[in-house]
Structure 1
Amino acid sequence: MFRPLAAATTAALIMLGLTALPASASPEAALPEAAAPRPAKPAPNAPQVAAAAQTLTWTADDRIDAYASAPTTATPGETTIVFENSEATGNTTFMTHTLTFDTSTPGYNHDVPVNITANPLDANGGRWEQTVNLTPGKYLFHCTVPGHSTMKGELIVSAGGDDTTPPTVTARITGEQNADGAYLGSATATLEATDAGSGVGTVEYQLDGGAWTAYTAPVTVNTVGDHMLHYRATDNAGNTSPEGMESFTVVEDGGGEDTTPPEVGAEITGERDAEGRFLGTATITVTATDVGSGVELVEYEIDDTGFKPYTAPVQVTAVGDHAVQYRATDAAGNASETGSTPFSIVEGGGGEDTTPPEVTAEVTGEQDGDGNYVDAAVVTVSATDAGSGVDSVEYKLDSGEWTAYSAPVTVNAPGDHVLAYRATDVAGNTSPEGSESFSVVEQDTTAPTASATVVGEQDPDGNFLGSAVVTVTAEDEGSGVDTIEYSLDGGEWTVYTAAVQVREPGEHTFAYRASDLAGNVSEEGSESFTVVADPDQDVTPPSVSAMVTGNQDSGWNYLDNATVTLTALDLDSGVALVEYKLDDGDWAEYTAPLQVGAGEHTVWYRATDNAGNTSVEQSGSFRVIEVSTDQCPDSDTRDTVWIGSENTYVPNKDTGDGCTISDLIAQDDDYPTHTAFVRHVRQVTNGLVTEGLLTSTQRDIIVRAATRSDVGISSAAV
């Protein structure tokens, strides 16, 4: 059974398979052996050496989803890599991070062995340097600590040349959020674009379907409701990035639920007589708006016939007195009051509608110099009727039958064509037939062009060490590329979907071809290369450790639940997979700390690196017992957490032993200073985030409220 590291009333940290530390041990000694700084790195007092041509700096903080800062571009040559993960960069929880350059993912450079582990409590205070030689291309960097998989990015090293690569552009939405992730009062969108070639020329954004606008500074959105931000960037060579998109919601400041129903109204239009009665036809249009959660449903009812969903204007032609009722419901379930508008219809205009509809057609598509449509032509028919309204639209292609028109007609058969069209209104009037003549020329007969490149680390003889990565590209200016295929060493043709990594030592021939949408197939191309064994190939498995945390009694039993956290490190190829098995269960991938309930438990764990090396299976046992005693009989049971006179609007949850979050914050206790109170609040809320009782956003809200409070100030003054 594991032995505890702390008293029963505090969270205990247990290293599975490791010896417990004495109470006098320094925090630095608590780091797992595999996470200790590598001695090869220079000590703080090492002799000064000549500076490299450029210095690139990465920083990390308390986040586990992204580096605090990271470069995106560089130039080739000698470079000083700096990785700092310290209190100065915002790491206040003493969390370990790594800066690791990927050495296996196809499409990236694999010639820089950067794998730096840093912690604010290590020998260098979390700041390490390494000198490397960067080569043109792309490097993928990431953090290998389990649970930190989204801490990654790309470093583009450019040696110049014609720029054909569009910029990389990203968006970041920030602001105070509620428990549902909605932004309180406003959200700020920040766009960042980089281009390793000619440089970024312009950055643009489009908010909620509006016009594209030049981005010059972060955009603040304070309109309540759902929003969608599109963004793109163009470099100085004219290359434009694919559009990116971020969606988010802004609610009223304070984070309360939407309790305001939509606003709804109706407009009735049509030709009228002198007394305001509609002649022959009345058209009803219902509109609804909601600045909170948004309109979910609009309904209408005519003359007590039952409510129906409203989707488009409604025409009423029955002579007599009528009334339309209408209502709307928003996404939060708030329903408007029912509105009602009366109207009357009389026989129209002293006679029936005798005017046929007006109907037109438009032909679109790519055309050659003679006006012929290349591969296909699209015919769109439109009809209007100011009287009784359009009833039907029909078309006839060449010598075919009349057919009901419901959507644009695509004609892709080569030759001359005539498309006739007509429309009929509700009163039975049919328009004269119209027609459009056009020609479609022969379809694409030109095959695509395909090419392949082979990359990887090579020896002086040009052989690829360990593996070679083959990338195939194809272009077609006609109908477009349909499929790319490849055959390795005379094997079957296989559809190409991503870069192919060849690891088998020996001589290889990689054949490839491409087909376009018109069925034209390119000539077969091929690349020949040799793969040899890499003398520096990673044969060392990762190191893996486990930690159990939770409240314990005097018998070292965990009370109510325990949290198992696994950590793995690999200084060569990097960690690919961490697995665990709890009790008699199956092996499963580890992605987040495990919450374990009452009972006798054994957890098994192992890790595998990107080179396929798997660590020896390890295990540890512990016991969790249920606790029924209410630890806080005089509990603060308010619905939300209050700090002084400030309501944080964070739900005041029961933490599992009868104590609420407010009880643990204990703002009524005596604190020697205000700083001591804020530090206590930070420690408590960090633990609640680890236990899943608070989100990181909720923790930050509570800590900020504690900072603004006056708890501990009067004591310090005395």
Structure 2
Amino acid sequence: MYQRLRTSLGVAARRGTVGLLGVLLVALWVVPASLAGEQAQRTESSQQAQQQILTWTANDSITEYASAPSTATAGAATLVFENSTATGNTTGMPHTLTFDTSTPGYNHDVNVNITASPFDANQGRYEVDVNLTPGQYRYYCALPGHGQMAGVLTVTDGGGEDTTAPSVAGEVTGEQDADGNYVGTATVAVSAQDTESGVASVEYQLDGGGFQPYTDPVAVSEPGEHTVEFRATDNAGNVSQTGSVTFTVVEQAPEDTTPPTVTGELSGTQDADGNYLGKATVTVRAQDTQSGIASVEYEVDDTGFQPYTGPVEVAELGDHSVQFRATDNAGNVSETGFVTFRVVEPPEGDTTPPHVMAEVTGEQNPDGHYLGSASVELTAHDAESGVDGIEYALDGGEFAAYSGPVVVSAPGEHTVSYRATDNSGNTSEPGSVTFTVVENGQEDTTPPQVSAEVTGERDGDGNYVGSATVSVTAVDEGSGVHGVEYALDGGEFTAYTDPVEVAAEGEHTVRFRATDHAGNTSEPGSVTFTVVPGQQEDTTPPVVTARLTGEMDAGWNYLESAKLTLTATDEQSGVASVEYSFSEGSFRPYRVPLTIADAGVYTVSYRATDNAGNVSETGTATFTIVDPEPTCSVSDTRATVFVGAEDTGVANVDTGNGCTINDLIDEEAEYPDHTAFVTHVREVTAGLLADGIITKQERQRIVQAAKNAEIGV
């Protein structure tokens, strides 16, 4: 009651609406002479209970408080927030003092949210009594656009002396060349923390030139090697160990005025006259040794230049000219180059590409992983013009000519892609095999190493403009990386497949972890960053592609089922949704790969929409699914699944093609060893599980029975 009256009197006095006599009369009414002793005693007691008065002030700025405390002692405190003409607010702008009660890592036991302006009932000054506990409190202005007005109040116990020195770190940023040198300028930012008495000062020295106060990041432009040392002192006088960063600055490269060099290369099957049979492929290559290539363009037969993204195939019969040019990052455009050629009808009308097969061999463990190394052997045949050559690519690399088995020894999961071309120039669609190589003989008990990098356009404060992209990488020298996961802003971990784009404004934290094939999981790491609004409007629709996979017959029909996977990308606002429809039906949301298991001819349409509302062109994919003929003339019709002498208790049902589960396990077949039999059972039951014929628990019982059986021993 006394505090409220004291505030009212102060306001009235400042407004000039109560004279001095009126103030004295009111004061006498509030504190009669007969109660003066009691009032004085209460006042003294209140002052003892509130040893601390912590004051925040605000002015016309929307990026920082005019003043704010940085440290306090645990216990009772009075928080004062004043946003008035006396504190420099000349525009009447309101501000808040709001304590953060949700962000992890801070105390959440003080709930303060004061709004003040110079023209409110209290003329912008407010007080509130709180009880502070040891730790850190984050405070900020909650009004829209004022989010940079924020800080941290460090509260110490007060019961013991602070003998722990601050922690201090330095980070070097700037444009770097291929050798890691900083081009033109390197900037050193120093940060310090002290969870007890708080940081009092930070110092630095450049190349041994003597310590001086650190206030802003240090820019170093002189060419050569440099060392910046730094240290911090807390409010209790503890000084940290001296840290340092060493780096090299090189001169800025001269302005690039030289255009790129660009060449075109023709490939394909030619006849004796040099004509290309059926089609010709033009591959464009550009080089720029200074600022680098920004873009490459091409045009066919003067139809207009367009972006070059990969080799250009020209199949129309007749004479052709393909022109090309390149632009570097300094805006220099090359001379236009060109190639001319003629496409003629291939002899004997061969338009069917070769058929390619892959076989992976090597010693395997019970999990089907290859011990030490795996060998991939490729074969191809073409019934018409014959096979001209086979190519392969390892783990997404460039295709290379295949001359013998591809041996892969690096631990981890690998994919070998392959294709073949016949003598009429027909090239097969790429196929692939995926397998895992593990170290031979030694158990892997070491988790993977995982790291993350945040990229994107940044402003002067280091905030990411429009969006930030988090790329996570993991390595494991033992059994190889099995999977990577991430979690955004305290959410659940989910599988990481591609860099994570974060476009929502505000501060974000991405956590990440990885698991290897031996089941070891790394400790979660994290990166924290802030996204601010971007300036550029997104008017470009997403790019969406479709991929069909599944077993195929000689006529390129899918046997039993086909899996359709849709992938969409958008480099600006990001993909908001992907949709698909069958046979001109209504579009529906796409979330996971679609498995189509009924025989027939299908046409799937698909499209994607980005977060700016741009919709891609509708793509289509047409394919045929056929039912394979039954393969089991004499079937094992026992009621339950047996593996050797062990009854698994799983129902021995027909799998849909005239064969039972026991038929598919085929325990009477010849296997090179026990591992090969167990691997076969794993593959069979994985397909049955995917088709919904057995449950995960039933698959585990069948696989365990295969491990127990003495088949292939």
Please give the TM-score of this superposition, normalised by the length of structure 2.
Answer: 0.29
Q: Could you say which structure has the greater relative contact order, defined with CA pairs below 8 angstroms and 6 or more residues apart?
A: 1
Max radius of gyration: which structure? 2
Higher helix share: 2
TM, length-normalised to structure 1: 0.29
